[in-house]
Amino acid sequence: MDIKQVMVIGAGQMGAGIAQVCAQAGFHVVVYDKHVASLDNGMKRIHTFVQRAFEKERITEEQRDETLQRLQRAEKVEAVEKADIVIEAVIENMDAKAAIFKELDQLAPARTILASNTSSLPITKLASATNRPDRVIGMHFMNPVPIMELVEIIRGLQTSDETYFKVEQMARALHKRPVTVADFPGFVSNRILMPMINEAIYTLQEGVATAEDIDTSMKLGMNHPMGPLTLADFIGLDTCLYIMEVLHEGFSDSKYRPCPLLKQYVQAGWLGKKTGRGFYVYT
């Protein structure tokens, strides 16, 4: 079976980006979100970015129209009945994702691959919520999806070779660079990135430097395109905290202990750019 029909679960920033790149690459895509307002916003976001790509002459008018024609919205999860692969992109929470995988397992055809865009959670545990653990896999896209080239492909303990090769082939069809990752907490990217961000927050908490100077040090001194505190605001401080908690629990190592200041900001509702305030104020 070749992958032709894609269903994306979750129409937030990541889900909308995944749907966009799939449609641009020639796949027929159905986007589902249980919240109609989120689905509306996600579809508008896709249309806006595709139109912007046309206006900047990155795609032709014909490519724009064909991309949008391949996109379809769904207000019922039963639309999964036609999917060759489902890519889940909802909140980074094990209980929420496991519940979705259990439901998808009951509704999707036996051939359907169930993939998660999780950035840190164990694929093997997600697979245990289904009766098809051999067809469950991680497909971690980077944000923003239309721009970032990397995709981490995470094999669970029971992921079959057939499932892996089909997903790797699909990633390349999306013009992404897949890397194979074992099922360890945080995988590769977040296992390295999040402790760096966490240490930057400790540096701020201890008064070593201001947020601006910490970010400037990493941008100019390490040639990073974005400072760690700005990046944390962009990712969402609640997401950063959750991933650090996954790392801390998964490895039982104090070096992954979330910074108290990070916890305090999340408790205050200062989650970064999406709430208008994090380590910086956004208007």
- One-letter amino acid identity for 283? T
What are the residue ranges spanned by the domains of the chain? 5-182, 190-274
Please write the tens of the pLDDT for every residue from 228-268.
999 999 999 999 999 999 999 999 999 999 999 999 999 99
| Strand order across the beta sheet in which 113-116 lies | 71-74, 28-32, 5-9, 85-88, 113-116, 136-141, 150-155, 177-182
Q: Please give the positions annotated as active site.
A: 119, 140, 152, 190
**Quick one: which H or E segment has residue 195?**
helix 189-205
> With helix as H, strand as E and coil as C, how does 75-141 read?
CCHHHHHHCCEEEECCCCCHHHHHHHHHHHHHHCCCCCEEEECCCCCCHHHHHCCCCCHHHEEEEEE
- Cβ atoms of 46 and 73 within 8 Å: the answer is no
pLDDT, average across residues 18-28 = 97
Using the predicted structure, report yes or no on whether residue 2 has a pLDDT greater than 90: no
pLDDT, average across residues 7-27 = 96
Residue-level length of the chain: 283
Q: Domain 190-274: give its CATH superfamily.
A: N-(1-d-carboxylethyl)-l-norvaline Dehydrogenase; domain 2 (1.10.1040.10)
For residue 283, the model assigns a pLDDT of: 86
CATH number of 5-182: 3.40.50.720
Burial of 261 (0-12, 13-18, 19+ CB in 10 A): middle
Average pLDDT, rounded, for the chain: 96
Phi, psi angles (nearest 5°) of residue 49? -70, -35
pLDDT, average across residues 151-172 = 97
Torsion sign (Cα): 192, 196, 199, 201 = negative
For residue 67, the model assigns a pLDDT of: 95
- Token pair, residue 68, equals 């949008």
Same fold, 5-182 and 190-274: no
